[in-house]
Amino acid sequence: MLKSSQNFLGLVDCKVAALNLSPLDTYKYPPEVLWEIDQNSQKEHADLASDINSDKNITGVIIQHEYGIFGGLDGKNLLTFMENCTKPMLVTLHTVLPLPTPHMRAITKRIIELSSTIVVLTESSKKIVEGLYPASLNKIFVIPHGIHQVSFSPSGTYKKKLELDDHIILSTFGLLSRGKGIEYVLHALPKVIKKYPQTLYLILGETHPVVRRSEGEKYRIELAELITTLGLEEHVRFYDQYFSLSDLFEFLKATDIYICTSTNPNQAVSGTLSYALGSGRAVVSTEFAQAKELVTKENGRLVPIKNSKSITNALLELLGNQKRLLTMHQNAYKSTRSMLWSKVAEDYLGLLGRMIIPTLNIDHLTKMTDDNGLFQFAKLNIPDKNFGYTLDDNARALAVCSWLMKKKPTKELKSLMKIYLTFIKKCQQPDGTFINYISFSQKKTIQNTTEDLEDCQSRAVWGLSEVIANTMLPQEIRDEAIEIFIKNFKLDRHLNHLRAKAFLIKAYALILPFLTHQKIELISQIDKYAQDLVSTFEENSLEEWRWFENDLNYNNALLPESLLIAGNVLKKKKYTDCGFTALAFLIDKTFSTTYMPIGHTSWYKNKGIRSYYDQQPEDPASMILALVRAYEYTREEKYKSLAKKCFSWFLGNNSLKIALYDQKSGGCFDGLHPDRVNRNQGAESLVSYLMSSVMISKLH
């Protein structure tokens, strides 16, 4: 259980819930184990979920899944925990079967549905899971079984230390059970020993405790009898103990060839194989799933399962060329550096960072704001005063602060709101319209006369509406927003831009319950603008291009979101249907394994080639607002899942695998380029992230 929401690339505080086979089991656990759960008790699984839900310091849960760890048929009791736990859950599936029983498949399907992220240990496992469980698509990742950092060394040094220096050492380690396939190695040894009489095979490890409970040491006794029958007493040694890591690595380093003999072709992963290769040892392994990905002709040999003759041939081949065998040791070591536990931990932390919402931090918002308003740009994380302020950014910031005041009112937020509201009032002209640009010296800039200001004016109206509709705000702030709003509402406006119309739909729908004298006119305007959007959609839509314009450009999701709102307020199915159709089209164009917003380098024209860069934070923010709205109206889980994936774009689940949110400053980088992030932390990107964070927190 993760108990820290600090920088995920640093240390996190992890606490463990251990599962015991029965209430009678007593183990001396390390201090990080806070809970001990009877695997057969559904009540204890539910109680654990309750404990975790109530602990505000726990930000997420990692579940290491094996069917036999959790009680009930096929580990069904785990569902009791997962269905009661409200925190994000990452599940690592250690066993992946291509042909599960119907019951096992149903259990796995539900586990995947309830998880935020799925991890498997091999590419083959990923393909199997994606094929069997469609809900895993776009939230499944491969992280290999980890290995410890050990130095590479020839086997001679450790043979001498272990008094094995006169032998060729073959070894197998791990908890002993019938699936280990040791008997097939024993049958393979006589011909090897005939050619290399100094061969010694080490069987390292005690009997699996579950096996010992059911049949005692029966399997080990059978192997001992087979050793006698084959005349191998001088060439096989049992080490019936559980090894410390340091002792285990000494034996692995003394090994010439490690033998991995699983008899289960569907075994997803073997930690013993990973550790042997990671220690720099050539392997002979049966052809199970992980082995087929890791074992190559450069570091070992694959052999058919339960085929002693093939094991014999492989051992004789490798032992026949000592120079090549040493090269294979080196290859095994080099090929596994990406599997180091430190790298595995970093990969897990990266996934956790994508599924856990960092604690909201307005430090950068405060830093970017002076007594006049929110600065437009920044050089890195320092406000750039040369470009002054914009109505656009201050309107966004006003809306975000209004949302945050609903969650937890503070004097700081109230003060920021007054600054942003005053700025909007300063931008309003005598006729009720707004300008957008004000310099640091508080003067209008030339841009106000050279640029089209429809979008920013409508965004300002939307920002005001968020204040007017927030009954938790002080009345004097709401009254001031109403005054500015009414002055603008009296305008005889003729809008040309779709996004300006969409913002007014959002604004007018929001304040319908509060401006009763304007209600009829507000409804009329919502209907007018929604009909304009639908008409434009119908004019531009083709069979494979279901959109309002001939291109996808910026802030795209605002358009379908506004129609969903209009349809909901006016109870007009035509608007709702058009909104969902357009949203589905936009989802199809921007989601794959990650969220990929339309690049601002050039717009994506119908039948043209889309631009993937420069990706900017306004677009995922817009998409998140639309998806959360769709989820609120339909309660369909797909919208919730897509919104979370979209939010993870900020946290590193993007084409560059680089986080745009800066947890240290509380800012957000300005965009993604093909090879880097734009490390400036301006107002639009900052407020886009804050808006996204507030919205996505509504889903948890």
Torsion region of 456: left, alpha or beta (phi above 0 gives left; psi -120 to 50 gives alpha): alpha
Q: Are residues 60 and 111 in the same domain?
A: yes
Q: Are residues 383 and 253 in the same domain?
A: no
**% of the chain surpassing 90 pLDDT:** 79
* 402 occurs within a structural domain: yes
Residue 178 has pLDDT above 90, yes or no: no
pLDDT for 482-500, tens place per residue? Answer: 999 999 998 877 899 999 9
pLDDT for 93-112, tens place per residue? Answer: 999 999 999 999 999 999 99
C-beta atoms surrounding 488 within 10 Å: 21
Q: Are residues 181 and 255 in the same domain?
A: yes
* 81 occurs within a structural domain: yes
* 676 occurs within a structural domain: no
**Which range has the worst mean pLDDT, 66-70, 102-106, 311-315, 419-423?**
66-70
Residue 480 has pLDDT above 70, yes or no: yes
| Amino acid 698: pLDDT | 86
* 121 occurs within a structural domain: yes
Stretch (H or E) spanning 667: strand 667-668
Of 143, 170, 198, the position where a domain reaches its end is 143
Instruction: Supply the CATH number for residue 297's domain.
Output: 3.40.50.2000
24: pLDDT confidence band, cut at 50, 70 and 90?
A: confident
Tell me if residue 520 falls in helix, strand or coil.
helix
520: pLDDT confidence band, cut at 50, 70 and 90?
A: very high
Could you tell me if 655 and 596 are in contact, meaning their C-beta atoms sit under 8 angstroms apart?
yes
Q: β-pairing, 33-38 with 16-20?
A: parallel
Q: Are residues 59 and 201 in the same domain?
A: no
Q: Are residues 304 and 381 in the same domain?
A: no
pLDDT for 290-314, tens place per residue? Answer: 899 999 999 999 999 999 999 999 9
Tell me if residue 92 falls in helix, strand or coil.
strand
Counting the structural domains of the chain, the total is 3
pTM, rounded to two decimals: 0.66
| Amino acid 700: pLDDT | 64
380: pLDDT confidence band, cut at 50, 70 and 90?
A: very high
Domain extent at residue 46: 16-143
* 419 occurs within a structural domain: yes
Average pLDDT over residues 59-85: 93
Could you tell me if 392 and 684 are in contact, meaning their C-beta atoms sit under 8 angstroms apart?
yes
Q: Are residues 486 and 406 in the same domain?
A: yes
Q: Are residues 161 and 131 in the same domain?
A: no
Tell me the backbone φ, ψ of residue 656, rounded to 5 degrees.
-100, -5
pLDDT for 560-582, tens place per residue? Answer: 999 999 999 999 999 999 999 99
* 621 occurs within a structural domain: no
Q: Are residues 208 and 301 in the same domain?
A: yes
How far apart CA 629 and CA 606 sit, in angstroms, is 27
Could you tell me if 644 and 650 are in contact, meaning their C-beta atoms sit under 8 angstroms apart?
no
* 597 occurs within a structural domain: no
Of 108, 143, 178, the position where a domain reaches its end is 143
* 88 occurs within a structural domain: yes
12: pLDDT confidence band, cut at 50, 70 and 90?
A: low
Average pLDDT over residues 526-536: 98
Q: Are residues 377 and 331 in the same domain?
A: no
DSSP 338: G
What rounded mean pLDDT belongs to the chain? 92
Q: 127 or 9, which is more confident?
A: 127
Q: Are residues 177 and 316 in the same domain?
A: yes
Q: Are residues 384 and 253 in the same domain?
A: no
Of 455, 471, 492, the position where a domain reaches its end is 492
Q: Are residues 289 and 323 in the same domain?
A: yes
pLDDT for 583-619, tens place per residue? Answer: 999 999 999 878 999 999 999 999 999 999 999 999 9
pLDDT for 188-225, tens place per residue? Answer: 999 999 999 999 999 999 988 878 888 889 999 999 99
Instruction: Supply the CATH number for residue 451's domain.
Output: 1.50.10.10
Average pLDDT over residues 503-528: 95
How far apart CA 637 and CA 204 sit, in angstroms, is 49
